Amino acid sequence: MPSNQQISDYGSGTAPTPSSATQSIASIAASNGNFDILVAALDAAGLVDTFANPGDFTVFAPTDEAFTILAQDTFGIDTTGLTEGEIAVELVTLLGVETLTDVLFYHVQAGSSSLSDIQSTGSVTTLLGGTTFGVDGDTLNDADPDVEDPEFVAGLTDIAATNGVIHVIDRVLLPINVAEVTPQPTIADIAGSNPAFEALTGALAATGLLSLFEDPNNDFTVFAPTDDAFRALAEELGIDTTGVADAELPSALVGALGIDLVRNVLLYHVQAGGQSLAELQEAGLITTALEGGNLVVVGNTVVDADPDRPNPNFVSGLTDIEARNGEIQVIDSVLLPIDVGSVTPQFLFGGFGQDVQIGSAARDVLFGFFGDDIQIGGDGSDRMFGSLGEDTMFGGNGNDVMRGGVGDDDMNGGNGNDRMFGSWGDDLMSGNDGNDRMFGGSGNDTMEGGEGNDIILGNRGADHLSGGEGDDHIRGGHGRDVIDGGEGNDELMGGGGADQFVFTTLSGDDTILDWRWNDTIVLDSSDFANFAAVQAATTIEDGEITIAGADGTITFHGTSINEGDFVFV
């Protein structure tokens, strides 16, 4: 690479004298090895002829070192071992031709100006739509507040050309705030460019999952085991890893476990939606992309479904790695789902304080006792008792029985035909798949049946009861309840109290079994604009009132309807 003295042979230190120059701006740059990246950029943007032909320009020319600093420090490109031409390709690929062209025009002023004239004026109006940058002595103040400003290279200014003048600078001028406009790398980009994740990247590719993390429109949290973590797992499984490169570990694991199980293990490391470590710690219970697979985050530890091996920990300094399509949290060992663990039934008894209890693939019995406990049943038909405290319970697969006990409990039945009992407290129950039975007990409970033909009993309190899909039977009990049958042909009972029956999604033939004078029907105004529209859609015959909508009907006992019976939302 030529020295600064060789560059200075083109002229320095005096006002430009184009009449004495013999080369154009493009020729000077092309014939000097310090401007290879600049020349490649001009070529990619189609601007070489502009600076080779007659004209009159002032060009602020970044050196190859300036472009390399931009690639490394600003864009995070690993330039180790790359030639100037390869660095130029990386920058063109990252920025795109349009943005690259804007950056280059930001380095050009119409007309020749000496360094002293520029310093005296204090600003430069560029060819990028008349945008400007400031000049303070030897420093050029561009538009990016977070990147070090360029400076003129001493002795390498006022280089005369036949079509203008060149001033060499030590950084690239940026017309934009790079952090705001530069696309972040995806999860796949980050993992693929980091040598610590060769096994993870290879495993994702081998199982057909890599494209999920290449797509910038997705959003995930990935618990990312390092290569050392995958090697430790392989050795636990009895695989001889002597001489096996990190990139070859996925093939060894697929050979030992089968591709389906390896895919399940990888899905167990993924949560829909990007979350920070603090958010994961606050949530505690993590629902993964593996159906029925859940994790628990306790401090810096991730509790998985295998009770026989140490739980992974977050790697200090390698959490909250932001990607364009989510966040990466690096962990020091591989998480194992229930399929890898034992199928021996678990009988677990908690104590004082918060307990984390994870069942097996068999029929487990989990007692939380005191404290805000987290219970995960796993596969099998489990019995789960939260007892005292605000408990979080996830049934998983199987026909589970869940009793929250005292406190505001959160129960999720998962797959299967589950039975949930809220008892005391304001409980949240979600049936999900299956034909579920849900009993609210005392307190103001929220119950959602999900899919299946569910039976939901609110009992005491002002409850919010939703059937979801399927033909549901919902009974509010005592209190001012809000009842929404959802889709399907539902039977609804408010019980005592002034209840609201919600039909904002009128789908199926629903029946109110105990319509009372102080109850209210809530309708979507897109179905019924006003009371007159309801009257027009209503028939009364033999003491039964039927309101017909486009996709369903509401039937209840009565001889007349009043405007005060309805709310339009």
pLDDT in tens, 388-412: 777 777 777 778 888 877 878 788 8
pLDDT tops 80 at residue 164 = yes
Task: Write down the mean pLDDT value for the chain.
Answer: 85
Whether residues 387 and 483 fall in one domain: yes
pLDDT in the model for residue 354 = 65
Which of these ranges, 79-83, 258-262, 468-472, has the smallest mean pLDDT? Answer: 258-262
Same domain assignment for residues 320 and 443: no
- Express the helix, strand and coil content of the chain in percent, nearest 5 each: 25, 25, 50
Enclosing domain of residue 31: 4-181
Chain centroid to CA 107:
37
pLDDT value, residue 179 = 57
- 416 neighbors 399 (Cβ within 8 angstroms): yes
Confidence of residue 418 (pLDDT cuts 50, 70, 90): confident
| Same domain, yes or no: 292 and 305 | yes
User: Are 312 and 408 in the same domain?
Assistant: no
Does the pTM exceed 0.75?
no
Residue finishing a domain among 271, 305, 338:
338
- In this structure, the answer to whether residues 367 and 322 fall within a common structural domain is no
Residue 9: band (very low, low, confident or very high) from pLDDT cuts 50, 70, 90: very low
Closest to 103 in 3D by CA, of 139, 136, 75, 138: 75
Tokens encoding 347 = 């009988």
Environment class of 239 (CB within 10 Å of its CB; exposed 0-12, middle 13-18, buried 19+): middle
Closest CA to 158 of 356, 11, 353, 51: 11
Indicate if the pLDDT at residue 546 is higher than 70: yes
Confidence label for 350 from pLDDT (cuts 50, 70 and 90): low
- Helix (H, G, I), strand (E, B), or coil: what is residue 67? helix
How many CB atoms neighbour CB 316 within 10 A? Answer: 9
User: Taking residues 522-551, what's their average pLDDT?
Assistant: 89
CA 347 – CA 332 distance, rounded (Å): 29
**Sheet of strand 301-303, all strands in order from the earlier edge strand to the far edge:** 285-287, 294-298, 301-303
Average pLDDT over residues 539-544: 91
- Which pLDDT belongs to residue 63? 97
β-pairing, 392-394 with 482-484? Answer: unpaired
- Strand pairing partners for 314? 331
Ranking 10-24, 51-65, 491-505, 552-566 by mean pLDDT, the lowest is 10-24
Torsion of CA 237, 238, 240, 245, to 10 degrees: 10
Alpha helices by DSSP H, 299-347: none
> What's the DSSP call for residue 41?
H
Which CA distances in Å does 151 have to 38, 60, 137, 318, 526? 17, 10, 9, 35, 64
C-alpha to C-alpha distance for 322 and 318, rounded to whole angstroms: 11
Among 86-95, 286-295, 338-347, which stretch is predicted with the lowest mean pLDDT?
338-347
pLDDT-derived band of residue 140, with 50, 70 and 90 as boundaries?
Answer: very high
What pLDDT sits at residue 7?
33
DSSP state of 71: I
Find the mean pLDDT for residues 426-454: 84
Q: What is the pLDDT of residue 420?
A: 85
Name the pLDDT band for 200 (thresholds 50, 70, 90).
Answer: very high
Whether 549 shows a pLDDT value over 60: the answer reads yes
**Averaged pLDDT, 89-110:** 91
Same domain, yes or no, for 252 and 103?
A: no
Q: Do 92 and 204 belong together in one domain? A: no
One-letter-per-residue 3-state SS of 103-157: HHHCCEEECCCCHHHHHHHCEEECCCCCCEEEEECCEEECCCCCCCCCEECCCCC
Determine contact, residues 345/336, Cβ cutoff 8 Å: no
Q: Which residues of 454-484 are buried (b: 16+ CB within 10 A; e: fewer)?
A: bbbbbbbbbbbbbbbbbbbbbbbbebbbbbb
Total domain count for the chain?
3
Residues 213, 79 share a domain: no
Q: How confident is the model at residue 181 (pLDDT cuts 50, 70, 90)?
A: low
Question: Percent of the chain at pLDDT above 90?
Answer: 44
Residue 426: predicted pLDDT: 83
Over pLDDT 70: what percentage of the chain?
89
The dihedral over CA atoms of 34, 36, 38, 41, expressed in degrees to the nearest 10, equals: -170
pLDDT in tens, 271-287: 999 999 999 999 988 99
Residue 289: predicted pLDDT: 92
446 sits in which H/E element:
strand 446-448
- Number of other CB atoms surrounding residue 400 within 10 Å: 31
| Residue 8 predicted with pLDDT over 70 | no
Q: Are strands 428-430 and 446-448 parallel, antiparallel or unpaired?
A: parallel
Q: Are residues 493 and 555 in the same domain?
A: yes
Do 458 and 472 sit in the same domain of this protein? yes
User: Does 92 lie in the same domain as 198?
Assistant: no
The DSSP element (H or E) to which 68 belongs, if any, is helix 64-69
pLDDT at 482 over 60: yes
Per-residue confidence (pLDDT) for residue 3, from 0 to 100:
33
Q: In this structure, what token pair is assigned to residue 485?
A: 């049958």
How distant, in Å, are the alpha carbons of 19, 40, 290, 301, 424 from that of 463?
89, 68, 32, 36, 13
Domain closes at, from 319, 338, 357: 338
134 shares a domain with 53: yes
**CATH code for the domain in which residue 192 is found:** 2.30.180.10
CA atoms 448, 452, 458, 459: torsion sign = negative
Last residue of a domain, one of 181, 215, 248: 181
pLDDT reported for residue 199: 95
